[in-house]
């Protein structure tokens, strides 16, 4: 598997007609922003939908920050697909590089890859969407709407929550919170009532396996990378309801939310 930067990915998409960008984030995440021309296949659906991308010579996988896309690339390589690449930094790196996204935009869902040229109309739409979704609520002194998350326990749920959503979720019930950072990071500051299960511990998978898989879990790390990978592990172990803190403790504290020491 080859790792490439968002700028390299954009150049490949521009030059290669048989290249496709596959976004493996959740439905809730892509509802917030999308990359023009990208095909959306959530990571948990990828194994059963590889036939949708098998005819492309170059497959570029992208997620929020690079963790899930690396897993997706590994899945594609195991299926003997060619030209597999992981876009490091994910959509965060994509936006930081000044590359285009559309707020609330829709992904390409057909089998044929459509080359999308970002024209002034798309840029204008993006700006309009920004004003409607972010600027307008702020100007009116209200809070921009958050991504709806179904917390029903009737079926398996896995998702990424904003700090606000995460805060509300753990406050509304006797929440099971897992901090997957190292013990030293945990000691320096953690979310109240969080249990520390170190992602880098050789016994990490075994430690998770001792937990009640029928309960809901809210997990976080420093910035979101380790917790994203933890969700994958927990799903493999049979957990059915796991939610990740988007941006990790960094975004949590940037919003002025408390930590215990």
Q: Which residues are catalytic, by number?
A: 221
CA–CA separation, 245 and 259 (whole Å): 14
Which phi and psi angles does 135 have, rounded to 5°? -65, -45
CA–CA separation, 95 and 65 (whole Å): 11
Q: Is 245 exposed, middle or buried (0-12, 13-18, 19+ CB in 10 A)?
A: buried
Report the 10 Å Cβ neighbour count for 190. Answer: 19
CA–CA separation, 101 and 104 (whole Å): 9
**DSSP state for residue 256 in the 8-state scheme:** T
Alpha helices of 50-202 — where are they, by DSSP H?
67-78, 90-96, 120-130, 136-139, 163-171, 183-188
Find tokens 């007609």 and name the residue: 17
| Residue among 4, 10, 7, 45 nearest 26 (CA) | 45
CA–CA separation, 233 and 147 (whole Å): 24
CA–CA separation, 64 and 90 (whole Å): 5
Find tokens 């990378």 and name the residue: 225
What does the block give as tokens for 96?
């930081």
């Amino acid at each position: 598997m080859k790792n490439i930067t968002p700028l390299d990915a954009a150049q490949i998409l521009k030059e290669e007609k048989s290249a496709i960008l596959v976004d493996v984030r959740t439905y809730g995440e892509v509802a917030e922003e999308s990359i023009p021309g990208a095909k959306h296949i959530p990571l948990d659906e990828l194994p059963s939908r590889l036939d949708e991308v098998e005819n492309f010579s170059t497959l570029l996988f992208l997620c929020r920050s690079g963790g899930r896309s690396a897993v997706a690339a590994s899945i594609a390589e195991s299926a003997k697909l060619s030209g597999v690449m992981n876009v490091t930094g994910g959509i965060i790196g994509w936006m930081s590089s000044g590359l285009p996204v559309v707020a609330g935009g829709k992904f390409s869902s057909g089998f044929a890859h459509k080359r999308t040229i970002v024209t002034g109309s798309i840029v204008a739409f993006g700006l309009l969407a920004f004003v409607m979704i972010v600027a307008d609520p702020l100007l009116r002194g209200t809070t921009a709407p958050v991504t709806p998350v179904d917390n029903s326990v009737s079926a398996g749920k896995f998702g990424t929550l904003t700090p606000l959503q995460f805060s509300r979720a753990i406050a509304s019930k006797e929440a099971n919170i897992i901090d997957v950072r190292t013990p030293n990071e945990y000691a320096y500051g953690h979310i109240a009532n969080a249990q520390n299960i170190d992602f880098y511990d050789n016994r990490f998978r075994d430690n998770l396996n001792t937990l009640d898989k029928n309960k809901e879990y809210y997990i976080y790390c420093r910035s979101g990378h380790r917790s994203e990978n933890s969700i994958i592990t927990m799903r493999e172990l049979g957990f059915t309801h796991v939610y990740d803190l988007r941006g990790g403790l960094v975004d949590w504290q940037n919003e002025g939310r408390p930590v215990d020491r």
